[in-house]
A and B are shown apart, each in its own frame.
Chain A
């Protein structure tokens, strides 16, 4: 047995243990923390599978932003010290049975797909010169499967609309954490925020030739927004409602617009002409990154019961 196999087996074992503990933790807040650890471990699994794009997305969105939202929800529900209610016998069995069934289905799908993928990787590689990007993942997301990604951006938009719909008209969705953050926290933010913005720009630009892209860049920007929200200066409160709504929509709209431009140039929707493909994909990715960032930071900043939007306490 090689050292790599040993490491992979330990990693997979840790993922399973973390998942089981996150659900069954005796204290709920412990489950939340282990859920964040689970996300980090999962991103390591993606690294081992040679999928750095997914690893970055999983670490930033799965572990980072989702972790922050779940942790905040647990805090607001006063769950810090609440014990996990013991599941009654039949729903407990039911959930385990359902989980096992889903696991079997996924395993079946995985085995079928990995057998039948044929020459798909070669065909993706062969077409890359016409797509205008060197990164296969970006090519699949923005070009080959443009529809899927466009709708995915639409799903994010619907989520943001749902959050905004929970607010009374005119009520700001940006909750402020009312406290006096220690100078140490403010100072650290002053160092981390510019670096984070630079990092997001790098990930966006890098997406055309290596791991990175709109979703990763947007998630890093959203992480900065979460940090600033916790320090009592939510960036989303600095723009007017109209500007905020425009930023939420721009990714979806711009994606469609560029797709339609491709149609006027004689292709199908999202079939960019090879000469223009690279700049068109960059235009889409930039707009999508902005919308992803604003949506994710809205999901965090708007957390909390409707009506007490400004009542957030010490985090």
Chain B
């Protein structure tokens, strides 16, 4: 296995850890805000690590730049929607647990 492939595999395993932790958080955490906290870790760090891992496999600079662009777009969307959901849940006084 080449050093490139090794780096990809290690980073993907680390990304999988963040995604599993994020999903676990959605299922186990008690309310909207803590669940958001968990899922945004998966979105931001997990996807960032996937992109980082795939950069080692990119054929060209352009392909790599597109991967990074995807991550940046998801960061914007994820941070914004997280903020909006958190704001809405505070407005609703959403104390639902379960």
Contact = CB atoms under 8 A, between A and B. Distances in A.
A147 to B, nearest CB: 36
Interface of A: 182, 184-185, 188, 191-192, 195, 314
Contact of A182 (B73, B76, B77, B83): B83
Contacts of A182: 83-84, 87
Contacts of A185: 80, 83-84
B13 to A, nearest CB: 16
Interface string B46-79: 0000000000000000000000000001001101
B77 to A, nearest CB: 7
Interface of B: 73, 76-77, 79-80, 83-84, 87-88
B84 A191 contact: no
A188 B80 contact: yes
Nearest to B87: A182
Nearest to B83: A184
19 contacts: A182-B83, A182-B84, A182-B87, A184-B80, A184-B83, A184-B84, A185-B80, A185-B83, A185-B84, A188-B76, A188-B77, A188-B79, A188-B80, A191-B76, A192-B73, A192-B76, A192-B77, A195-B73, A314-B88
Contacts of A195: 73
Contacts of A188: 76-77, 79-80
Given A184-B80, A191-B76, A192-B73, 12 more contacts: A182-B84, A182-B87, A184-B83, A184-B84, A185-B83, A188-B76, A188-B77, A188-B79, A188-B80, A192-B76, A195-B73, A314-B88
A188 B88 CA distance: 17
A81 to B, nearest CB: 10
B65 to A, nearest CB: 14
A5 B84 CA distance: 39
Nearest to A80: B92
Shortest beta-carbon contacts, A-B, top 6: A188-B80, A184-B83, A188-B76, A191-B76, A184-B80, A185-B84
A191 B72 CA distance: 11
Contacts of B79: 188
Contacts of A184: 80, 83-84
Contacts of B76: 188, 191-192
Nearest to A192: B76
A65 B84 CA distance: 20
Contacts of A314: 88
Nearest to B96: A81
Contacts of B84: 182, 184-185
